[in-house]
Amino acid sequence: MEISDHESNMQVIKDVSSNFTSTFCGDMFSFALGLMLLRATGMSLSFGLSMIIMPIVTLIGLVPIGNLVDTYPHKRLLIISLVVRITALFIYSIAIGHFDGSGKLIPTIGFLIINYASVNLSNSGYMASVHELVNEGHIQKLNSLSQSAASFASTFSPIVAAGLYVIVGFRLFIVFQLTAHVIALIILLTMNFHYLSYPRKSSQTPQESQWAKFKLGLNYLMAHGFLRYLICIALFLNFIFAVINVGLPFMIVEHLHLGNVTLGILNSADALGMLIGNLIISVSKELRHLAKILAVTMVIIGTGLAGVGALLMAAPEQLVVQLVGSLMLFAVGMSLAFMNTPFGIYMQKTVPTELMGRVSSTEMSLNMMSIPLGTVFYSFVFQQIPSGIVFIISGIALIAVTGLTMPTFMHVQMPKTGHATQKADRQRL
């Protein structure tokens, strides 16, 4: 059954609304959770607890989550995932009051493990169900608007959370999060999933082991050079981009003493660039010249990183750093939007739906691993070399990798019809 444009538009509105509500309240809850643990334990680890637990849970769930998504109806999995998250949060709200001081880490760690396992299942499930929600002409709009909603929520939620926490305390943030989950569940129940008629290979061979099923997704990745290349580039970019996450606060606040306000302005400029970039993509014609777009964006990101480094080395006045640095990071953020969103669209238009869970789970897990590695690496580097030269070298490295590797794939374009591509892919499996 062909999904009409009207239904696709309605599905986009529902998905964006759910994504915005979940991200906004989720980010506020995470911020408040960090503040609560910091106050209760006095440990700096409080804000980094999620960064430790998330990669571990992601790695452990890599194989079973990918297989689950490709075996069972996506809507059913998404509903179960949300119900589990609601139940876990409700139990946590009761349990947390029975612990004091560092003891609060015990129920928090348990809750975060369940929560991130559920989030990973939901993310893979949504990625695999795009063709079941909208028609071919709305994939770009769905991806870009969802990313825009997430970017907007991530930009402003910490500001709102910081103000509210002083007034209402941690308990009310649990209520916000529970409300957001319930709203997301209601929206999900109203969404129509148009399942494809072909039988799933995984359901035909129930005797296969978990690894044997998951290996089909890995074999697909190994057989498609450009998709494999994109994932490697994403890993490298996530690693490199830790120079912003780690180096910017260190250089602005600790080394140059330009204050938290300057840091907030620069971070907001980056997030605003991503928001504007995704909004531009949502109203643009279908993206076609994929490799050229990615090459240009990577060069801009590399140039922006090097420019920030040069600016910090020049150590100008605070106002100059705020203005010039904001422009550079705005360009970096917009370029990231033009890289991340087309990459997601390309995956959804090329990877067979029956393999999307395993492929997307692999891609997200690898990316999740590269972020803490980059964080540890740049934390060590900035302790040894507290200078803008680290930004410059990182930017040059990104430009060099782009120049050395991208020309091989410069001919690659965005597929016109994902279902036709998927049909051809199934014949090769």
Q: What b/e readout covers 189-200, taking b as 16+ CB neighbours within 10 angstroms?
A: eebeebeeeeeb
Domain ranges of the chain: 1-196, 212-422
End-to-end CA, the chain:
24
Q: Which of 222, 411, 244, 406 is nearest to 333 (CA)?
A: 244
Q: What b/e readout covers 322-336, taking b as 16+ CB neighbours within 10 angstroms?
A: bebbbebbbbbbbbb
State which residues of the chain have pLDDT below 70.
1, 44-48, 196-208, 416-429
Q: How would you class 404 by CB atoms within 10 Å of its CB: exposed for 0-12, middle for 13-18, buried for 19 or more? A: exposed
**How far is the C-alpha of 404 from the C-alpha of 236, rounded, in Å?**
14
Q: Which of 281, 277, 280 is nearest to 300 (CA)?
A: 277
CB 391 within 8 A of CB 243: yes
Q: What is the pLDDT of residue 426?
A: 39
Structure tokens at 60: 């452990």
Superfamily in which the 1-196 domain is placed by CATH:
MFS general substrate transporter like domains (1.20.1250.20)
**How far is the C-alpha of 209 from the C-alpha of 422, rounded, in Å?**
25
CB 142 within 8 A of CB 13: no
Q: Which of 133, 181, 131, 137 is nearest to 12 (CA)?
A: 133
Length of the chain: 429
**How far is the C-alpha of 14 from the C-alpha of 18, rounded, in Å?**
6
**How far is the C-alpha of 79 from the C-alpha of 114, rounded, in Å?**
15
Q: What is the pLDDT of residue 428?
A: 36
Q: What is the pLDDT of residue 39?
A: 83
Q: What is the pLDDT of residue 406?
A: 85
Neighbours of 212 (CB within 10 A): 12
CB 371 within 8 A of CB 312: no
Q: What is the pLDDT of residue 180?
A: 93
- Architecture per CATH, 212-422: Up-down Bundle (1.20)
CB 323 within 8 A of CB 306: no
- Whether 212-422 and 1-196 are alike in CATH topology: the answer is yes
Q: What is the pLDDT of residue 203?
A: 43
Tens digits of residue pLDDT in 301-324: 999 999 999 998 887 788 888 899
Structure tokens at 191: 């969404």
Neighbours of 123 (CB within 10 A): 17
CB 359 within 8 A of CB 216: no
